[in-house]
Copies of this chain bind each other. A is one copy, B any other.
Amino acid sequence: MAKNITNPEKDFARWYQDVIREAELADSAPVRGCMIIRPYGYSIWENIKASLDASFKETGHKNAYFPLFIPESFIKKEAKHVEGFAPELAIVTHGGGKKLEEPLVVRPTSETIINHMFSKWINSYRDLPMLLNQWANVVRWEMRPRAFLRTTEFLWQEGHTAHANEEEAREETLRMLKVYADFAENVAAIPVIPGRKTEQEKFAGAVDSYTIEAMMGNGWALQSGTSHYLGTNFARVFDTMYLDSNNEQQFVHQTSWGVSTRLVGAVIMAHGDENGLRLPPKLAPVQVVIVPIARDDSARTEVLMVVDSINEGLKKMGIRVEVDNREGMSPGFKFNYWEVRGVPLRLEIGPRDLKEGHVTASARNRPGREDKFTISLDSLVENIPEILEKIQNEMLDEAIRKRDSRTYSVEDLGDFREAIVSDPGFYNVWWDGVAEDEVRLQKETKATVRCIPLEQQEGSGKCIMTGRETSTRVVLARAY
């Protein structure tokens, strides 16, 4: 067990804070609810961004930038929208030394301003589809902040698209959900359940909201990305119409979709262990750390020569590698340092290793620090990408195993009420409830309907709340 890190089995919330502090991922800010993302944490976000941004561009989207400030009147235009956001807004009342005539809202999302521009930019069917994305900071006042998971200011991307008809817009909604699911599994090594949100849980203003739900280390769910089919809701408010090929005015059908710095929290909580962070190689700021070991100067010179050449070789292959040759620190201290930071692969090289023509390697995802292996020096550099890929796959497999082992089916509400306390996890249940049933469920169990999975099992059964026969299954869980 690492020093200064609480056992996650004992107190998961404190463990989370400890890992963030010890791995130097973030720090609290002087303004309540805000956080400072430190270089190591920000680098994880940069890797998330780079991967997703490439996928967005591959699927035809372009980035743009819309203003931070939105006129208060815009937010009020869309009734459900304002209802959802009003209690969370930050308001600028003074600018340039004067009181403003109309207060400005610091964007909680850019839906309204983007729709305002869409109505200007979109005129004919030739302008469609319009496929935009924005990487930005947004602000939603947060009373119970938690680093990365809930902060007053957070970083995110928001995709906003306009289409000629419902079919294309619905296709886009699911396409982007799939982009998120693929990212989660293949890059973040976190298995997710893609599904539709219930009426109660969906985005205010959307016709249908979709989500990817991931399981964290304590069995709780984390909504890790959402994609919305907005129908013509915003188009009607902002009068966003296009002239179709028959010369008739039509409302556009829209989507929006987003992920945020919350994903960094997902990575911490899905993979971390009692020794700190564990990072999947594809997101790790440092994929390989090399710790040279030498007791005297002559050994040191010899070792560092080999280390330098390995370092150069790995860098050339595009691998993110770091050499820890800090003086005055023991190898043990360094091993801990990089272990807490979740570096996927550690290489130790000492005089004995050189003599035997290998390096000693240790993969962060394997349990126990003693599980070391050796890699021959001859083929070291060429072998690393494969080893990293193996670690990446092992981490996904482990996360799937963990999730599956905490995924249950339950039929009876009484059973569920007890089970969700003694054994938090994902509970598959038959569901035919409405909004009131969801409210009651949450009140009685603190759990919510995470989603109606896109992939539904065969068969039917009795709804856990209403007792009505149904063929729909949903996932219940406690959630962040």
Contact = CB atoms under 8 A, between A and B. Distances in A.
Contacts of A34: 67-69
25 contacts: A27-B117, A29-B66, A29-B113, A30-B71, A31-B67, A37-B65, A39-B132, A42-B63, A42-B64, A42-B65, A43-B62, A46-B63, A68-B139, A68-B153, A69-B152, A87-B97, A89-B96, A89-B97, A91-B95, A92-B92, A93-B93, A94-B103, A95-B141, A136-B137, A137-B137
B91 A64 contact: no
A350 to B, nearest CB: 24
Contacts of A36: 64-67, 113, 117
Given A36-B65, A42-B64, A95-B141, 15 more contacts: A27-B117, A30-B113, A31-B67, A31-B104, A37-B64, A39-B64, A39-B132, A43-B62, A46-B63, A67-B153, A89-B94, A90-B95, A91-B93, A93-B94, A136-B137
Interface in A55-95: 62-71, 74, 86-95
Contact of A90 (B30, B42, B46, B92): B92
B87 A94 contact: no
A310 interface: no
Report copies per complex: 2
A236 interface: no
A66 B103 CA distance: 25
A372 interface: no
A43 B63 contact: yes
A117 B117 CA distance: 38
B116 A65 contact: no
B86 A97 contact: yes
A143 interface: yes
A120 interface: yes
Interface in A219-243: none
Q: Which 6 A-B pairs have the closest CB atoms?
A: A96-B141, A39-B62, A34-B67, A37-B65, A91-B94, A29-B67
